[in-house]
Amino acid sequence: MQQPPAHAASIAAAQACLDAFMAAFNARDVVAFERTFNFPSIRLASNTLAVIEPGYHKPEMFDRGALKDWHHSAWERREVIHAGVDKVHLDTRFTRYRADGSIIGAFDSIYVVTCEDGHWGIKARSSFAP
């Protein structure tokens, strides 16, 4: 009989957080998107560290820069690196797509999802995405 993974409930909660993160991002729902974070949150991408606080994300972020031609994204990989009672580290890869289904790019990332005051949210992420 196979044993359940250690901290299975934490892993399930972290995965559900990432599901909600991607769904809100694809829906361009900034309010729902921000609910997937534990603030302050850190993003390291393009060799730049950003400290993300509530209100950081704006609807216009979907119309410029790296997201200008973007239509939606999808997870390609979400593998648990480490898990504990209140924190899960995940090795991820996501792909960004244009409206016609062509690929903009695929990017490896590390996500740290934490439980703070009963809320599972993204605390930190380091990505090779622009």
Tokens of 36: 């997937």
- pTM here is 0.92
CA angle 35, 32, 28 (to 5 degrees): 135
Amino acid, single-letter form, for residue 70: W
Per-residue DSSP letters for 109-124?
A: EEEEEEEETTEEEEEE
Read off the tokens for 111: 């996500």
pLDDT of residue 36 exceeding 80, the answer is yes
- Write down the domain spans for the chain: 8-127
pLDDT at 2 over 60: no
The class that CATH gives domain 8-127 is alpha beta
Least reliable range by pLDDT among 5-9, 65-69, 75-79, 119-123: 65-69
The tens digit of pLDDT for each residue in 55-84 reads 999 988 888 877 888 999 999 999 999 999
How far apart CA 40 and CA 88 sit, in angstroms, is 17
